[in-house]
Amino acid sequence: MPRVGPAGSGLGPLGMAKNFSVRWVLVLAAFSSVACGEHEDDKPIPWIGRTYMLSLDKPDFVVPNHVGDDLFGVAPTFFFEIGGSGKALTATLATGPGTTTDAEMNRHPRTPEDAVQDACGPSVVVPFSGADYPRSTIALDDVRLFFLNPANPPLQVTADVYGLKFTDVLPNGDTPSTSGTLDATMDFDQIYVLLGLLGPGRTPDSACTTFHDHYTRSGCMDASCMVGCGACPAPSTSSHCLSIQGQDLGALEAPSVTLTDVTEAGRPASCADSQVE
């Protein structure tokens, strides 16, 4: 005789729940959703189609210690226009002026409201992966960046920067990152032009000596704590490179900024490097 569950138990002739078929349909529906691309991992990455900006303040530069005192305002604002599809993404990297000046002539980092692309800053498209969203690494071995020192008179130069890397600066959805980093190695064979306070006789050597004397901590007795220039990455033959790092960074969305392609050769004549007398 077939086994029958107790009255009111909801068990059928084989001891199976009467709502078994309903549960099975739900399982199949869930499986179908995954198979059709509705799984969380298959959702479009929200960076795509948006433009973000990274503007740096004095405390953001932590290596060498307090180097932001000299780099604030000289370092540009960075823009990232994100394209691509799936996990294969691109960032159109462009730059803009690093600061703005208020009525009292105090300089402040740029915000999305006053951000603007600089016509002198070459742009470049950088492929990167969105596989670890919201983590990201946007990196270039060698890139040309436009730097402007808004001194009186202003000084400017387009220089090689090596190992430029932005790690985890893009937001998690609409929540800005607070743990991003920027790494870069600057070549003072070109950057020294910006250090107008060193006078008309300044050279890459005098620039490197100044950074060594100013940023090496008091009491430092060995190379591990000394700040100084060293060999640039190959293929450069310069020996005047200095590595810097910014920490605790986060890029903000800049919806009003539309980037244009800027080539170094196609820039206006006003973008020419300043000359040292």
pLDDT in tens, 258-269: 999 999 999 999
Q: In this structure, are 153 and 32 located in the same domain?
A: no
pTM above 0.85, yes or no: no
Q: In this structure, are 195 and 80 located in the same domain?
A: yes
158 compared with 35, residue with greater pLDDT: 158
Instruction: Establish if 114 belongs to a structural domain.
Output: yes
Instruction: Establish if 166 belongs to a structural domain.
Output: yes
d(CA 125, CA 123): 7
Instruction: Establish if 33 belongs to a structural domain.
Output: yes
Q: What is the pLDDT of residue 55?
A: 95
Instruction: Establish if 276 belongs to a structural domain.
Output: no
Instruction: Establish if 271 belongs to a structural domain.
Output: no
Q: In this structure, are 224 and 142 located in the same domain?
A: yes
218 pLDDT above the threshold of 70: yes
Of 52, 59, 108, 55, whose CA–CA distance to 256 is shortest? 52
Q: In this structure, are 134 and 155 located in the same domain?
A: yes
d(CA 72, CA 24): 62
Chain-centre distance for alpha carbon 114? 19
Tokens for 23, please give them.
């549960």
Q: In this structure, are 261 and 137 located in the same domain?
A: yes
Given 26, 43, 60, the domain boundary residue is 43
Instruction: Establish if 273 belongs to a structural domain.
Output: no
Q: In this structure, are 13 and 63 located in the same domain?
A: no
Domain count, the chain: 2
Cα distances from 39 to residues 34, 64, 132, 133, 253, in angstroms, run: 5, 45, 16, 15, 26
14 pLDDT above the threshold of 70: no
Mean pLDDT of the chain, nearest integer: 86
109 with 53: CB under 8 angstroms? Answer: no
Edge-to-edge strand ranges of the sheet holding 155-167: 61-63, 241-249, 180-187, 155-167, 137-149
Q: In this structure, are 187 and 73 located in the same domain?
A: yes
Q: In this structure, are 55 and 23 located in the same domain?
A: no
54 pLDDT above the threshold of 80: yes
Q: Which residue has the tokens 């800005």?
A: 176
Least confident range of 30-39, 194-203, 209-218: 30-39
Instruction: Establish if 55 belongs to a structural domain.
Output: yes
* pLDDT band (50, 70, 90) for residue 145: very high
Q: What is the pLDDT of residue 28?
A: 43
- Could you give the residue ranges of the DSSP H alpha helices within the chain? 20-35, 68-71, 188-191, 204-215
Range(s) of the domain holding residue 236? 44-266
Instruction: Establish if 29 belongs to a structural domain.
Output: yes
Mean pLDDT (whole number) for 106-128: 95
Q: In this structure, are 246 and 129 located in the same domain?
A: yes
Q: In this structure, are 48 and 28 located in the same domain?
A: no
For the chain, percent of residues with pLDDT exceeding 90: 65
Q: In this structure, are 142 and 16 located in the same domain?
A: no
Q: In this structure, are 228 and 131 located in the same domain?
A: yes
68 with 58: CB under 8 angstroms? Answer: yes
